[in-house]
Structure 1
């Protein structure tokens, strides 16, 4: 009989669950008939009054959220932005998150804060600047998020802009501009090459002209006669001593003994 009585007590205690535990990465908030306590319970086992008290868990580990939305740039281009955010709840702010945000910080405050920050910062830049100054855009969004979320015991760990998407007409305009710039650079390089080649030809022609001028200055009557004598001597050296075979007419050479 005592055995059954003890077993019944154990079953009753198990059913009433006078103890509750807080797992790793969480903090506990005890409510008494729905009224949250101001005390943040750390990881471990905690006593509760059965039926009257309930232990509620608040996640304080780093969580990741992704989202996307549309905004307008300073030059009124529609920008579709996709972002990724890592955040965590401050352990000491678990009661505030549970009480003020219904333990749903993502839905209650993080998503609206991200949308507002993205729209506000995007409106400061033109569409082209959003691409060229992506780091500045990200840093300004992070600054706004940290300032707003810190008031609700939420810490921004990382924020990144996954992608910017623009309208097809804007993308076509960017592509056309890029192509025009590439053609312009090619034309400038070709012009520079042509100018260099022209300068090289001018320099070569000038050098050849100067060389000819120097040679003309060195040509004198004495040099001409000397060249004629050298040519005659070379012709005599090559002659084999035979007179040309001429049919009729006088012998072109006179044999002087």
Structure 2
């Protein structure tokens, strides 16, 4: 393919013109500044879009519920776990834990018999999902220190004062049940659910612990003595029963002995002696000669 002279001349002029424009753009400071400004503006716009888009959504975690907060004011619309839209830089979503949570408290009180008692209590509680707005709007996020711990302190002291110190140990399940009932009624006013309560430990004074130990030792010794006495009584009764049985047996045997039976036994003894006798009298006798009643034998 060939170009004529006029076309070639025009093409060359165009090339020179474009080249000059590019040279002017590259060497002209105003053109360079304009191009840089447009690039920076595009980057800034992209960052703003990303920032706004990133703040337009929020996630409510599993085991929680969410509440909209617009310029510091809570919305009573309770959000379930998942992704939710919010107005960027205007709204935030606060999360309320609705899972079972444990609160532990140490309480000092006095028993009914004025023994000092330190109690360590663990309470498992949860937030009512439907009433999360009321709780957060009226109490706030620190409801555990504002409501739960003071309630536990007061109720444990109140219930502990109704029982003697020993009953607190032996009837721990009853004491825990009474504390649980009172605490459920108290926290229900704030839409809090008491799931379980455990009295982890009762701690008494050293003097009381020593007295309890001494009492247990005395009870064990008394129990041992009582068991020994019962054993002796049983053995004595056994001996009496055995003697009575032997006497009864002897009595029955005496009733069975008759003169005819005695005579028969005598005859049996004499027959055995006669069977063993060889018909010779002993030449030397050192004692009495056995008497044999020949008449009785002959009569038999």
Please classify the TM superposition score into its range, dividing by the shorter chain length. 0.7 to 0.9
CA shift for structure 1 position 4:
5.0
Deviates more, 1:112-121 or 1:161-170: 161-170
Q: Partner of 2:200: helix, strand, or coil?
A: strand
CA shift for structure 1 position 112:
1.0
Per the alignment, residue 98 of structure 2 pairs with: 60
CA shift for structure 1 position 103:
0.7
Per the alignment, residue 73 of structure 2 pairs with: 35
Q: Structure 1 stretches of 5 or more lacking a match?
A: 248-257
Q: 1:146 to 1:217 in 2, by over 3 A?
A: closer
**1: distance between equivalents of 2:58 and 2:266?**
126
- The structure 2 residue matched to 1:174, chosen from 192, 199, 212, is 212
Contact 1:20/1:48, CA 8 A, preserved across alignment:
no
Who wins on radius of gyration, i.e. which is larger? 2
Q: Partner of 2:196: helix, strand, or coil?
A: strand
Q: How many residues align?
A: 246
Question: Is it true that 1:132 corresponds to 2:152 in the alignment?
Answer: no
**2: distance between equivalents of 1:177 and 1:189?**
18
Question: Is it true that 1:82 corresponds to 2:116 in the alignment?
Answer: no
- The structure 1 residue matched to 2:244, chosen from 206, 231, 249, is 206
Q: Which structure exhibits the higher relative contact order, with contacts defined as CA atoms closer than 8 Å and separated by 6 or more residues?
A: 1
Q: TM-score, normalised by structure 2?
A: 0.71
Q: Structure 2 stretches of 5 or more lacking a match?
A: 1-34, 286-300
Question: Is it true that 1:46 corresponds to 2:85 in the alignment?
Answer: yes
**1: distance between equivalents of 2:240 and 2:96?**
83
CA shift for structure 1 position 143:
1.5
Per the alignment, residue 150 of structure 1 pairs with: 188
Per the alignment, residue 46 of structure 2 pairs with: 10
Q: Partner of 2:85: helix, strand, or coil?
A: strand
Q: TM-score, normalised by structure 1?
A: 0.81
Task: Give runs of aligned pairs for residues 178-197 of structure 1, distance below 5 A.
Answer: 178-197=216-235
**2: distance between equivalents of 1:170 and 1:66?**
25
**2: distance between equivalents of 1:47 and 1:218?**
114
Q: 1:219 to 1:154 in 2, by over 3 A?
A: closer
CA shift for structure 1 position 244:
2.7
Alignment root-mean-square deviation, CA: 2.7
- Deviant stretches of 4+, over 4 Å: 1-4, 217-226
**2: distance between equivalents of 1:205 and 1:211?**
10
**2: distance between equivalents of 1:144 and 1:238?**
102
Deviates more, 1:78-87 or 1:178-187: 178-187
**2: distance between equivalents of 1:204 and 1:220?**
27
